[in-house]
């Protein structure tokens, strides 16, 4: 794929995106980009290139727009309340279907899976989402094989993760998959990600 860069990863930003769904994978992947010989490029883009207001009020200024982002090797579609609107947006769903044809790997965080299901991209496939959104995912496409226990589900060209912080785990898995387990461990150590819940 002639993207002009060895490896391009795009993370979609939109109004009412869940902050950690976007920023968690971004932090993992940019930490990887800073040390990887593969020199991956990580960019954040919004549908129209304009700034967005996330679910809890964080404002973000994306790098570019969906029309200008160019070809990607990986698309990450975060979740959040904004996904309910996008799952009913025919233009957005058509854009996703078109992107599917040129993008080797699609990933989602949390309720980003709802949008993929609405676009018909999860039909008959294993996937996961936030535990509170399982019924919504089933309603959108009853053929999806929902894994309610997994932190993430890797089904080859589609990768879905469970809620919010699970996107960090999925992003580390992406690093391992795209480079190596050693690289993923180095990134995990660099960001000091070692969950040890107090309860």
Please state whether 13 falls in left (phi above 0), alpha (psi between -120 and 50) or beta: beta
CB 165 within 8 A of CB 171: no
CB 124 within 8 A of CB 145: yes
E-assigned strands of 61-164? 64-65, 74-77, 105-109, 126-127, 145-146, 152-154, 158-161
What are the helix and strand counts (H, E) for the chain?
Answer: 7, 11
CB 16 within 8 A of CB 81: yes
Q: Can you tell me which residue has the tokens 């949008």?
A: 115
Distance (Å, whole) CA 27 – CA 152: 18
Give the DSSP letter string of 9-51: EEEE--TT--HHHHHHHHHHHHHHHTT-TT--EEEEEESSS--
- Whether 43 is catalytic is no
**Catalytic residue among 17, 55, 110, 184, which?**
110
Catalytic residues: 110
């Amino acid at each position: 794929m002639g993207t002009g860069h060895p490896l391009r990863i795009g993370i979609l930003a939109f109004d009412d995106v869940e902050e950690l769904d976007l920023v968690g994978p971004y932090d993992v992947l940019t930490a990887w980009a800073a040390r990887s010989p593969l020199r991956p490029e990580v960019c954040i883009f919004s549908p129209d290139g304009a700034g967005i207001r996330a679910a809890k009020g964080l404002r973000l200024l994306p790098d570019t727009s969906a029309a200008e982002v160019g070809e990607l090797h990986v698309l990450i579609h975060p979740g959040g309340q904004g996904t309910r609107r996008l799952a009913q947006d025919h233009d957005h769903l058509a854009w996703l279907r078109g992107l599917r044809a040129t993008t080797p790997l699609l990933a989602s965080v949390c309720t980003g899976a709802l949008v993929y299901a609405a676009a018909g991209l999860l039909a008959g496939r294993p996937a996961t989402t936030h535990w509170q959104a399982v019924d919504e995912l089933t309603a959108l496409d009853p053929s999806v094989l929902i894994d309610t226990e997994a932190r993430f589900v890797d089904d080859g060209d589609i990768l879905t993760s469970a809620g919010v912080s699970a996107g960090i785990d999925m992003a580390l898995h992406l690093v391992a998959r795209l480079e190596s387990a050693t690289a993923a461990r180095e990134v995990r150590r660099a960001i000091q990600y070692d969950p040890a819940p107090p309860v």
